[in-house]
Every structure is written in structure tokens, then in C-alpha cells.
Amino acid sequence: MNWNEHWLETHIFRHKQPYDPMWDRQKEWVAEIDRHERLPSLLLLEHDHVYTFGRGGRQEHLLISEEMCKQKGIELANVDRGGDITYHGPGQLVGYPLILLNRWKNDAHLYLRMLEETIIKTLARYDIDAGRKPPYTGVWVGDEKIAAIGVKFNRGRQSKSFITSHGFALNVNTDLSMFEYIIPCGIREYGVTSMAKLLDHPLDLAEVMQVYQHIFVEEFQFEPHELRVHEDSEPDGRSS
């Protein structure tokens, strides 16, 4: 295939995705990107209800039993990203950038700041004044977190570059009551918010995805190579 580390494929998933198959897809695609069999990719989607524990996750930060999670239709997943427990679910924009970091000297901290910046700029398009809250990773509006970030830096065997996986979760129309059953990211003293709560109306998630993908391309200086929209009836996606 024609391969260029400056090209980016964006994949937009129109319907809610179960967590584990998407995690498997990330691992497969990271290996393909390392072998230059797939272009750097950005996956944008929303998940079914799931609480994920990162490598620093603590079981006591889940405040309800596993049985109660089952009754509420919430999956549980232990994953290999950084961070503690977080929630993914309907109305939330989840982004998984799978890109090589050698263009940025494999600087993990710089990548996190750039990822935060893409979210801050997206929110600014909706007149939401968001920013950072050191020492915490993520994006905040005042003392409330609106976007969580948890990533993994995979060592490429052939490319000799870090390749990113996992990513961010931006609360757009998210049911914030789902955060009441956990201590999000292990942070007790601050709350969470969403775009819909701040703007007092729901948003078109597909539109937010489109806005975000343009900002991501600009911030990371990619050349958009292909946009693929995945429908239920077309699991391999279609060009759009």
C-alpha cells in the first residue's frame, strides 16, 4: 500500500459500539500501523455502558457491586491504558488516535498536552471556556471535568516509534448520573460536567465528531487521506 506517516484515516462509527471488540480492533490496527500495513488512524465513536479500569485502577473506586452493574447493563473491563476507573456510554464522544509519535520525538507528555488542546479547541467552537487543571490530566470547566484522557504508548517493533492507543472521552450528551457509581479517575474532590449541561440543550454528536476530526488534523498536522463512516450493515466501513 502507499504509506505516509503524515496521512490520516478517520473512522466514524454511527452506532454505539461494545467495548471489547473495539479494544481488540485497536490492538490489531496498532500492529498493522507498525508494519506500515495501515495508515495512522483516528477512531471516533460512542460506547455502550462500560466502566473501564486502567493500569492504576482501584476496585474500591467502583461504588456498586458487580451484580448491580449487571442489573444496570454496565460492562466492566480491565484495560492496559493509564489511569484509574472511568465511564464510557451513550452520548459521549470517545476518540482513539492510533498514530506514530516519532514525529514528536516520542514525547508522551507533549502528546497528552496536544490531545487536551484538541478538546479545548473543540469546546471553544461551542463557546465553552475549558482548560487544564494541573496536576490532573484531562480537560476541565472550572472544577468539573468534561473530558477524561487515558492512553497507552505501544513500542513499535518495526517502526521504532511509540504508537498511541486508547485516548479520550468527551461528555457531550452523557448521562452524568452514571458517574455517581464510581470515583472518576480516582478524584474524589471534583465533579464532572457535559456540553449538554453547560449549554442547556442536547447536541448532535455526529456534528461534534466532525468538528473534532478537523481540529485533530490541524493540531497534529496530518493530511486527511480518507474518511470512513461505519454503519451496522457495513462493518468494514465505507468511504464518505
Over 93-135, what HEC string results?
EEEEEECECHHHCCCHHHHHHHHHHHHHHHHHCCCCCCEEECC
Contact by Cβ (8 Å): 120, 127: no
How far apart CA 26 and CA 23 sit, in angstroms, is 5
Residues marked active site are found at: 185
Annotated binding-site residue? 13: no
Sign of CA dihedral 121, 51, 136, 96: negative
List the pLDDT tens digit at each of the 240 positions of the chain: 789 999 999 999 999 999 999 999 999 999 999 999 999 999 999 999 999 999 988 999 999 999 999 999 999 999 999 999 999 999 999 999 999 999 999 999 999 999 999 999 999 999 999 999 999 999 999 999 999 999 999 999 998 899 999 999 999 999 999 999 999 989 889 999 999 999 999 999 999 999 999 999 999 999 999 999 998 634 444 433
How far apart CA 223 and CA 206 sit, in angstroms, is 21
pTM summary value = 0.94
Annotated binding-site residue? 169: yes
How far apart CA 73 and CA 175 sit, in angstroms, is 14
Bridge partners, residue 100, by sequence: 163
Annotated binding-site residue? 149: yes
* The CATH number of the domain covering residues in 7-231: 3.30.930.10
Instruction: Quote the cell numbers at residue 22.
Output: 473495539
How far apart CA 39 and CA 10 sit, in angstroms, is 10
